[in-house]
A = this chain, B = another copy of it.
Amino acid sequence: MTTVVENRDELKQRIQQLLAADLVAVNALLSRQFRNPNMFVQDVASHVSRFQGKQIRPILTLLSAEVFSPDAAARENVHRLAAVVEMIHTATLVHDDVIDDASLRRHVSTVHRRWNTETSVLFGDYLFSKAFHLAATTGDAEACRLIGLATDRTCEGELNQIAARLEQSVSERDYFRVIGGKTGHLFAVSCLLGTRAAGGSMVQQTQMKQFGRRIGLAFQIADDVLDLTASAEKTGKDASNDLCNHRLTLPLIRALKTGSHREQQRLKDLMTSIDANDHARLRDDPLVRQGVESAQATAEHFVRRALGNLESLPPCPARDVLAGIARFSVLRSS
């Protein structure tokens, strides 16, 4: 029997009901990873732990496993793998903040603002290294390989983003290649690792990998919309970070596509401006508003397809919660 999650509060509650003990174990594992005799390393680790968000990637790993009722040994590996995906995600955040020269992350100073670029680069590397090390402690080389493949693709996505910007690309194909790499693959492997560790079949592994990829894409599009439309106060990050870093996201690509040549030029001028007033003007432009709606519709399309992937799973509370996460991934407040 399937029960639909009605709202965001219910989603949170049901995640807690299903995963409370697992999340405690994963977070204990995460904090153990950064107990360090060196006070400086410990300080940076404590600071970075404040960037912690909704932990959507480890929750996906845990839920994907929960569907198959893993035994105690499998559960222990699932906890490790959930911690690994969270650590990799945090590493990318720390490095993204250096790259974007960002000041704030979840209302907290970024590492390179609080300390310096050196500390950010090295601490990000440290997080990556610790993540791969922890993955290897599962004794499962194939899991390590899948994680390595996903992080390869994540880095390629980010490198593609630089290339797209250098070429001033306005193509949707480039945009999807970038977000598929930088977000889709880590979401995909988060689901795949949980399914695999708990004994899901090859078909189920493939379906869950696709589920993860699709909600990753939906999530990233929603994030890009939010970066354009929301205030810094709401996101806890710098306002219009993408615009300031000349990253062209889906709502803007769609806005450019529909406008006349003259309107396109006007929008491009506003996009390349460094003036916050121009960014506000851009946000209020009717073409951009249309672009935002169109991008949101695309995100919803990915959610519907992701829900289709869940049909390969046996009906159970964890599957209902996965469906809830898919549905709410496009309705984000931060």
Contacts and interface: CB of A to CB of B under 8 A. Distances in A.
Interface in A71-113: 91, 95, 98-99
Interface stretch (A17-25, A153-161, A256-264, A322-330): A153-161
Q: How many copies make up the complex?
A: 2
Contact of A38 (B95, B133, B134, B156): B156
A232 interface: no
A203 interface: no
Contacts of A121: 95, 98-99, 121, 124
A40 B167 CA distance: 10
> What size tier do the contact residues of chain A reach?
35 or more
A189 to B, nearest CB: 12
A196 B206 CA distance: 35
A148 B122 contact: no
Interface string A131-167: 0111111111110110111011011101110110010
Contact of A122 (B123, B139, B158): B158
Given A118-B99, A162-B40, A152 B136 contact: no
Nearest to A40: B163
B117 A162 contact: no
B138 A122 contact: no
A119 interface: yes
Given A132-B144, A132-B151, A133-B149, A36 B156 contact: yes
Nearest to A157: B122
Given A140-B141, A148-B129, A152-B130, A159 B40 contact: yes
B117 A95 contact: no
Contact of A148 (B44, B133, B141): B133
A125 interface: yes
Contacts of A152: 126, 129-130, 133
B133 A151 contact: yes
A39 interface: yes
Query: Which of A99, A118, A134, A137 has its CB near the most chain B CB atoms (within 10 A)?
Result: A118
Contacts of A125: 91, 95, 124-125, 128, 151, 155, 158
Contacts of A139: 141-142
A41 interface: yes
Interface in A150-196: 151-152, 154-156, 158-160, 162-163, 166
Interface string A276-288: 0000000000000
Q: Which 6 residue pairs of A and B lie closest in terms of their CB atoms, listed nearest first?
A: A133-B148, A40-B163, A136-B145, A136-B144, A126-B155, A129-B151
30 contacts: A36-B156, A38-B156, A38-B160, A40-B159, A44-B159, A91-B125, A95-B122, A98-B117, A99-B117, A99-B122, A117-B117, A121-B121, A121-B124, A122-B155, A122-B158, A123-B155, A124-B125, A125-B125, A126-B159, A128-B128, A130-B148, A132-B132, A132-B148, A133-B148, A133-B152, A136-B144, A136-B145, A136-B147, A136-B148, A137-B145
